[in-house]
Amino acid sequence: ASKKLLLLPGDGIGAEIMVEVEKQIAILNRHAAAGFETETALVGGCAYDAEGAPVSDATMALAQAADAVLLGAVGGPKWAGVAYEMRPEAGLLRLRKEMQLFANLRPAICYPALADASSLKREIVEGLDILIVRELTGGVYFGEPKEIVDLGNGQKRAIDTQVYDTYEIERIARTAFDLARTRRGKVTSMEKRNVMKSGLYWNEVVTRIHRDEYPDLTLEHELADAGGMKLVKAPKQFDVIVTDNLFGDMLSDIAAMLTGSLGMLPSASLGAADAKTGKRKALYEPVHGSAPDIAGTGKANPLAMIASLAMGLRYSFEMIREADALEAAVAETLEAGIRTGDVMAPGCTEVGTGEMGDQVAER
Ligand code: NAI
Ligand code: MG
Nearest ligand to the CA of 141 is 2
Question: Does residue 106 have a known ligand-binding role?
Answer: yes
* pLDDT for position 126: 87
Residue 42: what pLDDT? 98
Measure the CA–CA gap between 208 and 212, rounded to whole angstroms: 6
- What residues of the chain score a pLDDT lower than 70? 1
Q: Which ligand is nearest to the CA of 254?
A: 2
- The answer to the question of whether 350 is labelled as a binding residue is no
Please check if 153 is assigned to a binding site: no
**Cα separations (Å) of 90 from 18, 48, 60, 141?**
21, 10, 13, 16
Of 356, 124, 329, the C-alpha closest to 263 is 356
Residues with CB under 5 A from ligand 2 (ion): 249, 253
- For ligand 1, atom 4, name the residue with the nearest CA: 291
Displacement of CA 278 from its chain's centroid (Å): 21
CA of 249 to the centre of ligand 2 (A): 5
- Looking at 3.40.50.2300, 3.40.50.300, 3.20.20.70, 3.40.718.10, the CATH number of the domain 119-259 comes to 3.40.718.10
Burial 253-287 (b: 16+ CB within 10 A, else e): eebbebbbbbbbbbbbbbbbeeeeeeebbbbbbbb
Q: 186 with 236: CB under 8 angstroms?
A: no
**pTM, to two decimals:** 0.92
Cβ-contact 78, 93 below 8 angstroms: no
Output the ligand 1 site: residues, CB below 6 A.
Answer: 13, 73-76, 89, 92, 262-263, 285, 288-294, 300-301, 304, 342
Domain ranges of the chain: 1-103+264-363, 119-259
Which bound ligand lies closest to the C-alpha atom of 304?
1
Cα of 252 vs centre of ligand 1, distance in Å, is 16
What ipTM does this complex have?
Answer: 0.97
User: What residues act catalytically?
Assistant: 141, 192, 225, 249, 253
pLDDT of residue 259: 79
Kindly report, residue by residue over 139-164, the tens digit of the pLDDT.
Answer: 999 899 999 999 999 999 999 999 99
312 a known binding residue? no
From the CA of 341, give the closest atom in ligand 1: 20
At the fourth CATH level, the homologous superfamily of domain 1-103+264-363 is: Isopropylmalate Dehydrogenase (3.40.718.10)
Q: Which residues pair with 223 in a beta bridge?
A: 191
Render pLDDT for 120-133 as a digit per residue (tens, 0 to 9). 788 888 889 999 99
Q: Whose CA is nearest to atom 22 of ligand 1?
A: 263
Q: Closest Cα to atom 40, ligand 1: which residue?
A: 73
pLDDT of residue 2: 84
13 Cα nearest atom in ligand 1: 18
